[in-house]
Amino acid sequence: MQNNRKPIVGITQGDGNGIGYEVIIKALADARILDSFTPVIYGSSKIFGFYRKLIHNIEPVDTNVVMSASDAHPKRINIVNCLPDNVYVEPGQATAESAKSAIRSLQRAVADIKNGTIDVLVTAPINKRAMVNEGFGYTGHTEYLQKEFGCEDVAMIMISDQLKIGVVTGHIPLKDVPTAITKERILGKLRLMKASLQRDFGVIEPKIAVLGLNPHCGDGGLLGDEEQSVILPAVQQAVSEGIAAFGPYSPDGFFGMGNYGRFDATLAMYHDQGLAPFKAISFQQGVNFTAGLPIVRTSPDHGTAYEMAGRDAADPHSMMCSIYGAIDIWRKRQEYDRLLSGRMKKQDND
């Protein structure tokens, strides 16, 4: 596979009643981007057209409706119609129809990336509750993709130019976090993060900061002992395995003093501990990346934003960053794998 080949980027529509189509259309509106990649949207040309009419001050867009991504035109915005012809739109509403459509879009895109007709996957925002109500048995994209690709573990890593943050526990209730944090789970995420930083981002010797769980890292056991009983032993074990892990650090001071800039990535203990500061620092530029998958998947760092749907108010920058971020990771992986393969051949010949 040639590293300079123009990649085919599969984009799921997400919830059709949210801002997914708007940010997709705006992100793809500049015709010059078609020199860099071939976009394939999984959804509905009817819904695409509906939202396109609501968006002002963008260039005309050339679309191409295809039966399969294998028929994608390299100089068009391609749309794989995978929804019923009678699909309808209710901007700003969480409906059974929009949830079912989001599921169909995702399933079709995953099937195509498995068979190699697209190179990377970018997922627009979904309504998790609505999808679960319609039989989607997962709490988010990350969990679904982990099952679909048979991965023992994956890591959600939020990435931007400023920082990269992974989480030990993802979409679970806050009350369940302390028992879910174990030494082995922390170690698993650190191993995944190191491997991803090397292969996906080209960091040769990554340094990873690890956050504590309790206020002030437990304050010597006064506010909790997880730092001493679970997190520190995990960091020590990681170091013994050759992972440059440091901590645990108290999150308030860590972010307040900008210490995240000293590390290649940070591992938070739970969802909001990592994503709240990440979005405060990198919102509209942030990307959700799933490390540990055999394929490249990214997503914007925002939700469906129903309150903005259909109003031409959504900012496309996170979607743009997700698309270009996926392409960058795809190329980095190719480069890493090629170098690794060359090194192994050289060793075999020595």
- What's the number of CA atoms in the CB half-sphere (13 Å) around residue 38? 19
Torsion of CA 184, 187, 188, 194, to 10 degrees: -170
- Tell which residue, 24, 55, 194, has the closest CA to residue 122: 24
Which two structure tokens, joined as six digits, stand for 29? 């509106």
Mean pLDDT of 154-158: 96
CA distance 64 to 3: 26
Instruction: Provide φ and ψ at 192, rounded to 5°.
Output: -65, -45
Task: Report the largest interatomic distance among the alpha carbons of the chain, rounded to a whole angstrom.
Answer: 65
**CA dist., res. 224 & res. 218, Å (int):** 5
Number of neighbouring beta carbons within 10 Å of residue 69: 25
Task: Tell me what the mean pLDDT of segment 255-264 comes to.
Answer: 94
Q: Rounded to whole angstroms, how far apart are CA atoms 92 and 15? A: 10
Residue with tokens 């890591």: 155
Q: Could you give the CA distance from residue 348 to residue 342 in angstroms, rounded to a whole number?
A: 10
Cross-strand bridge partners of residue 158? 165, 288
pLDDT in tens, 101-149: 999 999 999 999 999 999 999 999 999 999 999 999 998 999 999 999 9
Sequence letter at residue 275:
L
Strand-strand pairing, 287-291 and 155-159: antiparallel
- The answer to whether the CB of 255 falls within 8 A of the CB of 282 is no
Q: What's the whole-number mean pLDDT along residues 74-103?
A: 95
pLDDT tops 70 at residue 2 = no
Kindly report the length of the chain: 350
Report pLDDT for 323: 97
Which residue type does 24 have? I
Domains present along the chain, CATH in parentheses: 1-151+293-350 (3.40.718.10), 155-284 (3.40.718.10)
Q: Give 11-37 pLDDT, tens digit per residue.
A: 999 999 999 999 999 999 988 899 999
10 Å CB burial of residue 5 (0-12, 13-18, 19+) is exposed
The pLDDT score that the predictor gives to residue 1 is 41
Which residue shows structure tokens 């002002």?
Answer: 56
346 pLDDT more than 80: no
Beta strand pairing status for 296-300 and 287-291? antiparallel
Q: What is the C-alpha separation between 156 and 290, in angstroms, rounded?
A: 5
Residue 48 pLDDT > 90: yes
Helix (H, G, I), strand (E, B) or coil at 2: coil
Mean pLDDT, the chain, integer? 94
Note the pLDDT tens digit of each residue in 268-327. 999 999 999 999 998 878 999 999 999 999 999 999 999 999 999 999 999 999 999 999
250 pLDDT more than 90: yes
Euclidean distance between CA atoms 180 and 171, whole angstroms: 12
With contact defined as beta carbons under 8 Å apart, do 325 and 297 qualify? no
Report DSSP letters for 61-128, one per residue: --EEEESSGGG--TTSEEEEE-S-TT----TT---HHHHHHHHHHHHHHHHHHHHTSSSEEEE----H
Percent of the chain past pLDDT 90, that is, above it, reads 88
Higher pLDDT, 61 or 82: 82
Cα separation of 303 and 18, whole Å? 8
